C-alpha cells in the first residue's frame, strides 16, 4: 500500500523485508520441525528473543508465528481454555470439550470481531460472554469489571480498531491475577507501542498477562502475512497446539509446530528476522513514532480545516466526521473516488465516521498535506452538489 492509503489497519512492507520475502519464497522452506529447516528454527528462536525484549515480556515467554492476529488470538485463548480446565483436573485432549467444567469469558463491549470469531471456533457461545462497558474512547471500564475467578478468561485490547485506545492493563490485570484468571491481550497493531519510549506508557502492565497476539505486518511493516502468538506458559501453548505421529522426527531444538495450529507452514521467520535485524530497536521505535506523529499531524490539520476529530489520537487511529451524517458519508464517498487517498467508514457512538489508520512507513508529512487537501476538496464537492 502507498503512503496515502489509510484503510483498515494495513501496513506497507519496508523494502528490505519485501526483498527478503522474495528470497524466502524462492527457498520455499517448510518449517514445521527443526529437521525440516534448521535455519528457520534458529531464526524463529532469535525473533522470539528480540520480541520479548522489545515488548519487555517475561523471559520464559514463547512465540509462535502464524498468519495473523486472528489466528494468534485463537491460540492464546485455546492455551488459556486448556490450562483453566487442567487446573480443574479436566484433560481436554483426552475428554474433549463436551461436559467440561464451564469457563467464563470477559471482554470489552468493543472487542474486535476476530476475538468473537476465535471464541466461536473454540466452542464458546454468545451466552458465555460477559461484556464490560467501555468509556468514551472504547477503553474497558475497570470499575465495572465483574467479579473474576480462576475459571475466567479476560481478553483485553492494546489498540481499539477504531479509536486506537488501550485498556487500563495495570488495574484490570491486577484484579485478574489476584483471582487466578487467564489474561489475553489482543495487540494486533497496538502492542508495538511498548517499543517506543514515547508511547510505552500505553502498554504499562501488559507483562502481567498470560498471552498476547500481535501482527508484524501492521505497525512493524513486515510483509504479509505474519502474526505472532506470545505465551508466558510454554507448556500450556504447546499442549493446546499439540500434534503427534510415529513419522514425526522431534528434536532437542525448536520444533515450531508446537506453538502454532499448523504443521506445514511457510517460513515467516525469514522476513521477520530481516525486518527486526535491519531496523534494530531504534528503527522499530522510529517507525512507531513516525506513524503516531503523522496521525497527530493529520488530526490537527483536519481539525484546523473544520472537521470534527472524535477520538483522543493516542496512537495511529483517527475518527473524523462532518456536521451531519449525510455530509460525512458523501465526503467519504468523494474521498474514495478522488484517487488522492483512501480511507474507510465506520460507526462510532451510533453515527457514521471517516476512519483513518496511519500504518505505512512510507507516509510522509507531504502525504498528509495532500490528503488533508483531498478531504477539504471532497467536502466542498458535497456542498456544491
Task: Tell me what the mean pLDDT of segment 251-264 comes to.
Answer: 91
Mean pLDDT of 22-39: 95
Farthest CA pair distance, the chain: 72
Res. 247 pLDDT band, cuts 50 70 90: low
339: CATH: 3.90.1150.10
User: How many angstroms separate the CA atoms of 90 and 340, rounded?
Assistant: 57
Q: Are residues 335 and 363 in the same domain?
A: yes
Q: Clarify whether residues 245 and 308 are in a common domain.
A: no
**DSSP helix/strand/coil, 137:** coil
Same-domain status, 49 and 130: yes
Same domain, 290 and 265: no
Query: Are both 107 and 246 inside the same structural domain?
Result: yes
Each residue's pLDDT tens digit, 85-138: 999 999 999 999 999 999 999 999 999 999 999 999 999 999 999 999 999 999
* CA distance linking residue 283 with residue 268, whole number of Å: 20
Last residue of a domain, one of 240, 263, 278: 278
**Is the pLDDT reported for residue 217 higher than 60?**
yes
Domain boundary among 250, 278, 306: 278
CATH at 224: 3.40.640.10
- DSSP 3-state assignment of 109? coil
| Mean pLDDT across 244-251 | 61
Look up the domain containing 142 and give its range: 15-278
As a whole number of angstroms, the distance between CA 105 and CA 103 comes to: 7
Q: Is the pLDDT of residue 246 over 60?
A: no
Domain count, the chain: 2
The more confidently predicted of residues 347 and 385 is 347
Chain center to CA of 240: 21
In a domain? residue 257: yes
pLDDT for the residue numbered 252: 81
pLDDT tier at 299 (50, 70, 90 boundaries)?
Answer: very high
Share of the chain above pLDDT 90, in %: 96
Least confidently predicted of 174-183, 234-243, 361-370:
234-243
Judged against a pLDDT cut of 70, whether residue 244 lies above it is answered with no
Name the domain boundary from 278, 298, 324: 278
Clarify whether residues 131 and 222 are in a common domain. yes
* DSSP state letter for 140: B
The C-alpha angle 360, 196, 78, rounded to 5 degrees, equals 80
Cell (9 digits) for 116: 468473537
pLDDT digits (tens, 9 = 90+) for 40-87: 999 999 999 999 999 999 999 999 999 999 999 999 999 999 999 999
Amino acid at each position: 500500500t502507498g503512503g496515502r492509503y489509510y484503510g483498515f489497519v494495513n501496513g506497507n512492507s519496508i523494502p528490505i523485508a519485501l526483498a527478503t520475502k522474495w528470497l524466502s519464497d524462492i527457498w520455499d522452506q517448510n518449517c514445521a520441525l527443526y529437521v525440516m529447516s534448521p535455519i528457520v528454527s534458529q531464526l524463529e528462536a532469535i525473533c522470539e528473543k528480540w520480541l520479548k525484549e522489545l515488548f519487555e515480556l517475561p523471559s520464559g515467554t514463547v512465540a509462535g508465528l502464524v498468519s495473523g492476529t486472528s489466528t494468534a488470538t485463537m491460540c492464546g485463548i485455546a492455551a488459556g481454555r486448556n490450562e483453566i480446565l487442567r487446573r480443574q483436573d479436566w484433560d481436554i485432549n483426552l475428554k474433549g470439550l463436551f461436559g467440561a467444567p464451564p469457563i467464563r469469558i470477559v471482554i470489552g463491549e468493543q472487542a474486535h470481531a476476530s476475538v468473537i470469531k476465535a471464541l466461536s471456533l473454540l466452542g464458546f457461545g454468545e451466552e458465555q460472554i460477559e461484556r464490560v462497558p467501555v468509556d468514551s474512547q472504547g477503553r474497558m471500564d475497570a470499575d465495572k469489571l465483574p467479579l473474576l475467578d480462576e475459571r475466567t478468561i479476560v481478553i483485553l485490547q492494546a489498540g481499539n480498531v477504531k479509536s486506537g485506545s488501550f485498556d487500563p492493563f495495570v488495574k484490570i490485570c491486577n484484579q485478574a491475577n489476584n483471582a487466578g484468571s487467564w489474561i489475553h491481550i489482543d495487540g494486533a497493531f497496538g502492542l508495538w507501542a511498548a517499543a517506543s519510549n514515547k508511547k510505552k506508557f500505553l502498554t504499562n502492565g501488559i507483562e502481567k498477562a498470560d498471552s498476547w497476539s500481535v501482527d508484524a505486518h501492521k505497525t512493524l511493516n513486515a510483509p504479509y502475512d505474519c502474526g505472532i502468538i506470545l505465551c508466558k506458559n510454554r507448556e500450556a501453548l504447546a499442549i493446546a497446539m499439540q500434534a503427534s505421529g510415529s513419522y514425526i522426527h522431534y528434536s532437542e531444538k525448536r520444533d515450531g509446530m508446537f506453538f502454532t495450529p499448523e504443521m506445514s507452514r511457510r517460513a515467516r521467520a525469514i522476513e521477520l528476522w530481516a525486518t527486526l535485524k535491519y531496523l534494530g530497536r531504534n528503527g522499530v521505535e522510529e517507525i512507531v513514532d513516525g506513524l503516531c506523529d503523522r496521525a497527530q499531524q493529520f488530526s490537527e490539520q483536519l481539525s484546523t480545516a473544520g472537521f470534527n476529530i472524535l477520538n483522543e489520537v493516542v496512537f495511529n487511529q483517527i475518527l473524523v466526521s462532518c456536521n451531519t451524517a449525510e455530509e460525512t458519508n458523501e465526503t467519504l464517498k468523494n474521498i474514495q473516488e478522488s484517487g488522492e487517498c483512501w480511507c474507510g467508514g465506520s460507526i462510532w457512538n451510533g453515527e457514521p465516521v471517516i476512519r483513518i489508520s496511519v500504518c505505512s512507513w512510507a507516509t510522509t508529512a507531504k502525504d498528509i498535506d495532500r490528503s488533508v487537501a483531498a478531504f477539504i476538496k471532497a467536502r466542498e464537492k458535497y456542498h456544491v452538489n
